[in-house]
A and B are shown apart, each in its own frame.
Chain A
Amino acid sequence: MTSTAPPGVSEAFLDACQQHRQRTAVVSQGGDRFTYGSLADRVRARADAIDSLMAPEVRRVGLYGENSVEYLVSYYATVHSGRVPFLVDPQFGGQELAEIRSGCGVRTFLVHREVASRFPLPVRARRVSGTDLSVFSLQRDEGVAPLPISESTATCRFTSGTTGKPKCLEFSHHSVLRAARSWAAGTGVDGGDRTLCLAGFSNGLAFNTSLLPTFLVGAQLHLARGLPSSSKIRQAIRRRGITRLIAFPLVYRLISDDPAACVDDYKSLSIGISAGAVLAPVVRRACTRRLGVWIADYYGIAEAGPCTFETESDWNEGLGKPLPGVSIRLNPRVDGQAEVCVKTDSMATRYLNLPGLFEESLDGDGYYRTGDIGYLQGGRLFLTGRSGGAINVGGRKIDPLEVEQVALSIPGVEDAVVFADQDSNDMAALHLVVAGPERISRLEIVRSCAGQLSEYKIPAHVTWLPRMPRSAAGKVSVARLRELIASTKSLQH
């Protein structure tokens, strides 16, 4: 299939590898360096291996692994072989993987060894010789036939909304390339940069800021192992001379609270890039004042790619100005506020498993209605709230309906509502309220959800009520739920 691959992402990547052949492209978690030349050789060899292991009609390939050099090779090799990689969060549970199989028609997965044992569905496995990879094949299911995938599609990624299942976003070669070029041009990444990416490659934050934009300009991508801690981040930045850090807001909180950190630790770092959730101003100020670290909090949408970026280091408010190829429009609402709508050159094509839903989210001029409430001032975007939709916990979007459906499958649970709460660390947390005849504990809920849902979708807080306070129309007021939860707690204490 290699010879029939459409022009696009893999050609741009391999051209960059040729141009920067002798330069370092990736530095692994253990410090091993891979040049652009060696990366390209690996990608071509992996594409041949994929061709030999998968029939030509197998176009949809799930990638299931943690950040690694091998993951990057598998991604570009899958594209180079003319297939479409589906970037699956390795934390997805059985429920999510079952939807990817039936709703998206993905029955073939390239699975990396370190996560193979936690793959939640039964499979037939074959090793890819000379690698730490296996090809996992799922049985064909009897559900509705998935939509055909477009020839122009380069990559599929997943996001959450309020549909009860992961939404599969289809991106064309053109969109992926435009997102990368827009980010590179708009944020000033160049060949001298060393980017440390702490977000998972299946996430839009990493995908849009750290993969192709880095490689197109001949910069270095540095990988980190496991969960971050302030000391690990500090040491990695100092030892590797990192110039760009890509991370969720939680990481910047760790940095700002690190008592052992000093300016020297971060002197190589020209910018920290945060996205996924709002970065607390106090964290941003602490990083700047105490450590001299400038943090740019950018605005990106899963469906539309990176949208804004702050280019002035002395500006500490808002989310910056639109990137090249991005147009922002504010659609007035009846309450006097305005919804942020965006149109970019890097928009998704559609939701593969939810036909028509993406198209319904566009206004008459093709602007995507984000659900975010905000305003523009001096050309900069400021957000003030959201009008429903997914719950954001630590930069990860969670569909409340998806969690409620799993809760309702637990014996003894007759009603379930999930809402965004705040924990005692002032962090967003998922709160599940269940109702039923018998008291059910948080541990029973956790046990029942484990394996079905990603760990970050398992509710942190659980409250049992004998009856859900639904209105005549069947609605539940979150304010009323909070009152009942507070009174339940006061009775317990």
Chain B
Amino acid sequence: MSETIDEDLRAQVKDLVVLASGGAISVDELESADGSLEEVGVNSITYINLMEALEQTMGVVIDPEEDPEYLTSVDSIAAFVEAQRRIPPTTVS
């Protein structure tokens, strides 16, 4: 999965995680933990901030109850965003 992810998108997701954590988590920590959110100690407040940021900056909604596997790592989030962007917009006539 990780080979196909755009590096810019991956970097954007890392920045969002750092922002959502209020600066507690660093990009270096994310990289040394292979992007695992659990490994870097993402807590429920950071998850909430991250979900909100993903929705407002990238227009994607990840529901951790419905799609828990997408909210586990930088790569899984980036893959989800890419997949959402490939879905053509619905046209209402």
Contacts and interface: CB of A to CB of B under 8 A. Distances in A.
Interface of A: 225-232, 250, 254, 257, 259, 393-394, 423-425, 427, 429, 441-443, 446-447, 450, 455-456, 458, 460-461
Contact of A443 (B21, B39, B55): B39
A228 B32 contact: no
A424 B24 CA distance: 8
Given A460-B24, A461-B24, 11 more contacts: A226-B64, A227-B44, A227-B64, A229-B55, A231-B55, A393-B45, A394-B45, A425-B22, A443-B29, A443-B40, A460-B41
A206 to B, nearest CB: 15
8 contacts: A226-B63, A259-B56, A423-B23, A441-B29, A446-B40, A447-B39, A456-B43, A460-B21
B3 interface: no
B48 A227 contact: yes
Interface string B8-40: 000000000001011110000100110000111
A254 B40 contact: no
Interface of B: 19, 21-24, 29, 32-33, 38-41, 43-49, 51-52, 55-56, 61, 63-65
B57 to A, nearest CB: 11
A16 to B, nearest CB: 30
A320 to B, nearest CB: 26
A447 B36 CA distance: 12
A383 to B, nearest CB: 22
A427 B55 contact: no
Contact of B43 (A226, A257, A425, A458): A458
Nearest to B23: A424
Contacts of B64: 226-227
A229 B48 contact: yes
A443 to B, nearest CB: 6
A423 B56 CA distance: 21
Contacts of B61: 229, 231
A458 B41 contact: yes
Contacts of A228: 48
